[in-house]
Amino acid sequence: MPNLAATMTVLEPYPGLYAYYDGRIPGKRLYSEAKNWLDDGAYSLGIATYALVSGHEAMLYDSHTSLDHARAVRNHLEGLGVISIRLVLSHWHTDHIAGNAIFADCEIIANKLTARTLIENVKTLAHKTPPINPVVMPNRLFEGQMTLQLGERTVELLQFDIHSADGTVLFLRDEGILLAGDTLEDPITYISEPQHIATHIAELDRLKTLPIRRILPDHGERERIASGGYAPSLIDANRDYLQRLLGQVEDPALDKQTLRDFVAQDTAAGHIIYFEPYETVHRANIAEVRQAHGIGADHA
């Protein structure tokens, strides 16, 4: 099989903060033409993982979508002179932990819920397409929050129940930079736990209380990430999307409206950037929310 990381690019939105970006290439698929999580849940939507580097030390935020990607990331870091890597997991989903095995000899940090969920899903992950096997577990756990030091940077790991109950964001308070994982996404969030949307909305409000100046999500536009990320209004756009979806989910007219129209106000304001492949995500979100709320097929 060809190198899956062949189209990955290395960006440096801030000094000593690297983004490893891949995907959003029209007509390009990595794994197969058949539906699979790597192409349809990550590559087609665009994905970045991040690393903070200080001298011979690095802190990596997620291990990317494949062993090839993870290997390329590690090679880049070692090429910078890094000899010590700490890996922080944003949450347990496939496209964020698939490369863990390349960092099995490193400290792997996660919140306790991420660790527990990974343990519960070992067999499920091994039978995914493509499979993740072995599932390399974190070896340092925290709950709620943890503060780490990397050179002169103070790094806060903060737990949020957004997108997935086990979310961890990485916050550089002195610089106001948030590495958001999947808690925020451009243009819309991928709803994976529809029964928890009310919690996600409340947690987005809590996230908004942080003194954030710029946001670097895992799924977003390459150029926006390269130029320093998104404004805090991305939080409002993601929250407003969830609120509007909840408010209109019983309305059959929702099916006649495109995502482009549904988020037109936020795209016009520049808070998010419309990206056509998210039309499919939007349809899936509507179906997930309807199912979670017991709304029948007559609305579909």
Q: Residue 230: which domain range?
A: 9-299
Residue 4 is assigned to a structural domain of this protein: no
Taking 50 as the threshold, does the pLDDT of residue 266 lie above it?
Answer: yes
C-alpha–C-alpha distance, residues 269 and 271, integer Å = 6
Question: Would you state the pLDDT for residue 271?
Answer: 97
pLDDT, position 14: 98
pLDDT value at position 298? 53
pLDDT tier for residue 173 given thresholds of 50, 70 and 90: very high
Q: Which residue has the tokens 């990381």?
A: 5
Structure tokens at 74: 């590690």
pLDDT band at 162 (very low <50, low <70, confident <90, very high): very high
pLDDT 10s digits, 92-111? 999 999 999 999 999 999 99
Is 124 part of a structural domain of the chain? yes
What's the pLDDT band for 300 if we cut at 50, 70, 90?
Answer: very low
Determine the pLDDT at residue 293: 87
Helix (H) or strand (E) holding 140: strand 140-142
Within a domain: 217: yes
% of the chain with per-residue pLDDT over 90: 96
pLDDT of res. 97: 98
Please check whether residue 125 lies inside any domain of the structure. Answer: yes
What integer pLDDT is reported at residue 58 of this predicted model? 98
Q: What is the largest CA-CA distance in the chain?
A: 60
Average pLDDT over residues 73-78: 98
* CATH of residue 44: 3.60.15.10
> In this model, does residue 179 exceed pLDDT 70?
yes
What is the token pair recorded at 67?
A: 């062993």
Residue 299 has pLDDT above 60, yes or no: no
In terms of Cβ atoms closer than 10 Å to its own Cβ (0-12, 13-18, 19+), residue 4 is: buried
- The answer, yes or no, to whether residue 260 has pLDDT greater than 80, is yes
Q: Residues with Cβ < 8 Å from 43, sequence gap 6 or more?
A: 22, 23, 25, 28, 29, 30, 65
**1 belongs to a structural domain:** no
Asked if residue 120 has pLDDT above 60, the reply is: yes
Secondary structure (3-state) at 192: coil
In the chain, which residue ranges form alpha helices assigned H by DSSP?
Answer: 37-38, 67-79, 94-97, 112-120, 122-126, 197-208, 222-226, 233-248, 259-262, 264-268, 278-292
Residue 3 lies in a domain: no
CB 110 within 8 A of CB 146: no
Tell me if the pTM is above 0.85. Answer: yes
The terminus-to-terminus CA distance of the chain in angstroms comes to 40
Measuring CA to CA, which residue among 89, 105, 87 is closest to residue 97?
A: 89
**Which residue did the predictor score with more confidence, 41 or 11?**
11
Secondary structure element (H or E) that encloses residue 155, with its range: strand 153-162
CA 45/CA 52 separation, integer angstroms = 24
Name the percent of the chain lying above pLDDT 70. 98
pLDDT of 2 reads: 84
Rg (CA), the chain: 18
- Sort residue 235 into left (φ over 0), alpha (ψ -120 to 50) or beta: alpha
Q: What is the mean pLDDT of the chain?
A: 96
**Per the structure, how many domains does the chain have?**
1
Length of the chain: 300
Whether residue 77 is contained in a domain is answered as: yes
Mode of pairing for the β-strands spanning 107-111 and 140-142: parallel
Q: Other CB atoms closer than 10 Å to residue 277's CB: what's the count?
A: 14
